[in-house]
Amino acid sequence: MKRMLLILSAVGGALLAAWFLTFSGSVRNQTMSTAIKRAPVNPAATRTKAHLDHRPFFTKPMATGPEVTARCLECHKEAAAQVMKTPHWLWISGDVQRNGKTVLTGKRNLMNNFCISVSGNWNTCTKCHAGYGWGQKDYDFTKAENVDCLVCHDGTGTYVKSNQGLPGKKVDLAAVAGSVRVPHRENCGACHFNGGGGMGVKHGDLDNSLLHPNEDTDVHMARLGFQCIDCHTTREHLVAGKFNTTYTNLTRAARFDCADCHSQTPHGDAQLNNHVRRIACQTCHIPQYSRRFPTKMTWDWSKAGDFNRNEDAHDYLIIKGEFKYEQNVVPQYAWYNGRMDRYIMGDRIATEPLNMNRPLGSKDDPDAKIWPFKIHRGKQIYDPINRVLIPPVTSGEGGFWSDFDWNFAARKGMEVAGLPYSGTHSFISTQMYWPINHMTAPAKKALTCNRCHSKDGQMDWKALGFDGDPVGGTRHDR
């Protein structure tokens, strides 16, 4: 019976793939790369762009993903080489300084307070890697045939990935390959809407409500028909965006913001335009997030493994622990200049709760703006003697989900990561900041003056470094 419960729990948590939360990070500054100049968005061009019918090129059954890729490369000769320079392939996007040396950072060595770490768990969490066969530490990132073209270009809606990023056994590879098109929301959302192990878990502003949104869910997607790639444009397969992390010279890509389409003075009101200098557009125009589906706000790993508790996907799972979900959440606000502190695997913990990716900036920083965030609070395993977070092995043989032995999972995880383990583990409170960028509300539902400048306004002015409301809490008619 216990074994059956284990199996059911594993199935319930199978969507671990997108836990790479590589916005987690080290307690060091990371600066943004220089942006590549972008043209204004033209969503009509994306929606109406003709795409060659690829069915005549795939008339025979295809046995493996690499076989499909080899066929694709016969015509798209540079495509794999381009993909192999991107964060989607490398799982590296930034860098920090350590002891006078530059250390590349990404999903490979950053940690988070959702599924904790990719280290030791490649077999399962690489389901959302843009490649095939990553099931061990020493993955070969130079094999072009292992680039997965289908995960972004499938037009059938039937393409799914299994362990090690391999196509699911029931996928008709020839049919999927024949359907390829420019990426749609469904392609991007397959991973990004399911980050952290399930739909809407990680990002408060990315979930399945964006597949077919109404205007109250996202005005750009509903009214203007935006696809993800209308804003997240690409150049040589390098996707623009990722505002809250850095790009290395290896993975340099364009940043973008609202002013790429709107002007720096978008309002017909001088006072509102004056706000744009120090307040992010998202702050007023995304007054709540997770408006249709709830998002996970807390995750307590210390409660995992209790077979006396009843399971509920939005409250408790034996393999994952205890959760709390919320819906229609008012963001928390912080000054943000586009840089974050980072916790990298092996960094020593100085304070508790541990800020794994605190946004940098203040009201005295001219580059900072008040920005909306989802703050996810976790409780996760760490070594209290060595004062470091532990990247436990959770999946696979000998992982926590097999024997529910935290000490063994910790020892094995530290060994894989090459970190010393004291033999003692405990649990520590952590928090992570997730910038809110999607789910833009119609203008009529944007924050009014009263919502911030009033006695019960939703801004915590003191937390933002003010003595109080900078305009004295005066109520306005707007």
DSSP alpha helices (H): ranges in 49-184? Answer: 65-73, 79-83, 87-90, 122-125, 150-153, 173-178
Q: Bridge partners of 377?
A: 298, 431
Rounded Cα–Cα distance for residues 163 and 16 (Å): 10
Beta strands 295-300; 321-326: pairing state: antiparallel
Q: Are the C-beta atoms of 426 and 382 separated by less than 8 Å?
A: yes
Token reading at 388:
């470091």
Rounded Cα–Cα distance for residues 432 and 427 (Å): 16
Within-domain flag for 72: no
Within-domain flag for 457: no
208 lies in which domain range? 2-49+92-128+182-452
Preceding omega of 353 cis (within 30 degrees of 0): yes
Within-domain flag for 215: yes
Token reading at 334:
């912080």
For residue 146, which of 137, 158, 135 has the smallest C-alpha distance? 135
Q: Are the C-beta atoms of 25 and 344 separated by less than 8 Å?
A: yes
Within-domain flag for 388: yes
Cα distances (angstroms) measured from residue 182 to each of 48, 65, 234, 346, 377: 11, 19, 11, 40, 36
Whose tokens are 């739909």? That residue is 199
Within-domain flag for 364: yes
Within-domain flag for 71: no
For residue 305, which of 316, 321, 292 has the smallest C-alpha distance? 321
Each residue's pLDDT tens digit in the chain (478 positions)?
Answer: 444 444 434 434 333 333 333 323 333 333 333 333 445 566 655 555 678 999 999 999 999 999 999 999 999 999 999 999 999 999 988 777 778 888 888 899 999 999 999 999 999 999 999 999 999 999 999 999 999 999 999 999 999 999 999 999 999 999 999 999 999 999 999 999 999 989 999 999 999 999 999 999 999 999 999 999 999 988 899 998 765 545 555 666 566 788 888 888 888 888 888 899 999 999 999 999 999 999 999 999 999 999 999 999 889 999 999 999 999 999 999 999 988 888 999 999 999 999 999 899 999 999 999 999 999 999 999 999 999 999 999 998 889 999 999 999 999 999 999 999 999 999 999 999 999 999 999 999 999 988 999 888 899 999 999 999 988 755 444 4
Within-domain flag for 150: no
Total count of domains within the chain: 1
Within-domain flag for 478: no
